[in-house]
Amino acid sequence: MTERTLIKNLAAASDGPISVSGWVETVRDQKKVQFVVLRDESGAVQLVHPRVFNDDGTPAEDAIAETISGLAQGTFLTAGGELKHDERVKLGGVEIKLDAIDIAAAAIPETPIAEDSSGDKRMDWRFLDLRVPKNALVFKIQTTFLHALRTYWVDNDFIEIHTPKLMASASESKAELFEVDYFEGKAYLAQSPQFFKQMAQPAGFGKIFEVGPAFRADPSFTSRHATEFTSVDTEFSWIESHEDVMKVHEELLVAGFQAVKDKHGDEIKALWDIDITVPTTPFPRVPLAEAKRIVAERGYEVPRTDDDMDPEGERQISAWAQETYGHEFVFLTDYASSIRPFYHMRHEGDPSLTNSYDLIFNGVEISTGAQREHRVDVLIEQAAQKGLDPEELDFYLDFFRYGVPPHGGFGMGLSRVLMLMLHLPNIREATYLFRGPTRLTP
């Protein structure tokens, strides 16, 4: 057979000999002609085989026909034949008249999942679930989105780092940490790269980014939580306030959304009936206290007493931002120091508030960012106030004993962004292989 051609390139190819490879999606085995829809990672094409008959009208010996009749959905094969452009063919305006089939791996006839299978069943058979074009598109979008973020970082002189995921002590608290055996002692899976990305600041890196795994021992069963997720992190020096961090954050997201819209906008519209909106800058910014007043005026009282915003409050303030500004994003700023980590810088003159923010997208928090406290004496005091033992944080505090510039950054959950961008019902849909309190396979 000739060299393999991706199905997406068939429309631009000339009529004549062609070879394609992929898996069988459907078979129509008719008396006079057989049709096979073959799909690869780029698209689908119709294969055609007219049956062969003897002069007396009886079926002739036909190896290709016998092979097609025995094909099960999901079988991987290579097909060779004559490419023909025909606008009457609904599937891409082309078809291939078969002259050879080479089966690479036959599938068993029984299919364990269907379109209406439950989410758990689909996750059990995720490799089959991802053959569905709509489900696979999520990860093409993810690739485009991350490439755009990385292009922004690199073009703006950020340095990529890869921080360790095994830690000797907690980065924030031990409440949501997975503890693992580590030779003769214990280690923890990192819930964020916070300490290590800050270490790059006294190292003189200036601006850094990382895309990597993070782990939270949080027994939540909501549509937006996972025990392992991909965290998108940025940290950089020489800032004046968290406003500088928000500016970089929104510029990154604009770059990512623009790239997704440009490359996948039409396909997203066709499969999800969603128009990707590239956000305008600046994003709306609302202090948390004011956001709570706005939500109360909309008829919802945030019940929490810990100075935070609850999920319904996030949905309400997001709806307000959409109604007021036509914006899918809103920054909530000036969170209370009582609920923020010890390393968040506090307001000058009002230590009850921090130079921090949460970013809400379509009603769900996707990120926390802040200006960090860079004065070691203040860090020690704030850690003690949180009940942390400064001696256990000595390796971290050493970063600040040898000079560190004012700096800040954020961490953002990648799957949450994709879930909300595409209006998916659950973070599992936007995760290649989901990990939750009751799922460790496949």
- Region 140-166 average pLDDT: 98
Annotated binding site: 172, 216, 365, 368, 372, 413-416
* Burial class of 84 by CB neighbour count within 10 A (0 to 12, 13 to 18, 19+): middle
From 3.40.30.10, 2.40.50.140, 3.40.449.10, 3.40.50.620, which CATH number describes the 7-105 domain?
2.40.50.140
Name every residue whose Cβ is closer than 8 Å to that of residue 262 and which is 6 or more positions away in sequence: none
At residue 315, the pLDDT reads: 97
As a CATH number, domain 126-430 is: 3.30.930.10
Residues 6+ apart with CB under 8 A from 264: 137, 140, 141, 144, 276
Q: Give which of 229, 271, 280 is closest to 253, Cα–Cα.
A: 280
Across 162-187, average pLDDT = 86
pLDDT at 409: 98
Residue range 157-177: average pLDDT?
85
Give the contacts of 82 (CB within 8 A, at least 6 positions apart): 15, 16, 17, 18, 96, 97, 99
Do 7-105 and 126-430 have matching folds?
no
CB 371 within 8 A of CB 239: yes
Banded pLDDT at 138 (limits 50, 70, 90): very high
Upper half-sphere CA count for residue 154 (Cβ side, 13 Å): 6
Given this model, what pLDDT does residue 299 score? Answer: 95
Does the pLDDT value for residue 169 go beyond 90?
no
Q: Six-digit token pair at 201?
A: 């600041």
Residues 58-88 have pLDDT tens digits of 888 899 999 999 999 999 999 999 999 999 9
From CA 188, how far away is CA 174, in angstroms rounded? 9
Q: Where are the domains of the chain?
A: 7-105, 126-430
DSSP type of residue 173: -
pLDDT digit string, tens, across residues 209-263: 999 999 999 898 898 999 999 999 999 999 999 999 999 999 999 999 999 999 9
Q: Name the binding residues for ATP.
A: 365, 413-416
Average pLDDT taken over every residue of the chain: 95
pLDDT band at 175 (very low <50, low <70, confident <90, very high): low
Which pLDDT band, with edges at 50, 70 and 90, does 1 fall under?
low
| Residue 116 confidence (pLDDT) | 86
| pLDDT confidence tier of residue 168, bands split at 50, 70 and 90 | confident
Match 């290590």 to its residue by tokens: 196
The annotation places the binding site for L-aspartate at 172, 216, 368, 372
Say whether pTM exceeds 0.85: yes
356-361, strands of its sheet edge to edge: 159-160, 207-215, 228-237, 407-413, 364-371, 356-361, 329-333, 285-287
Radius of gyration of the chain from Cα atoms? 27
The span from the CA of 274 to the CA of 359, in Å, is 22
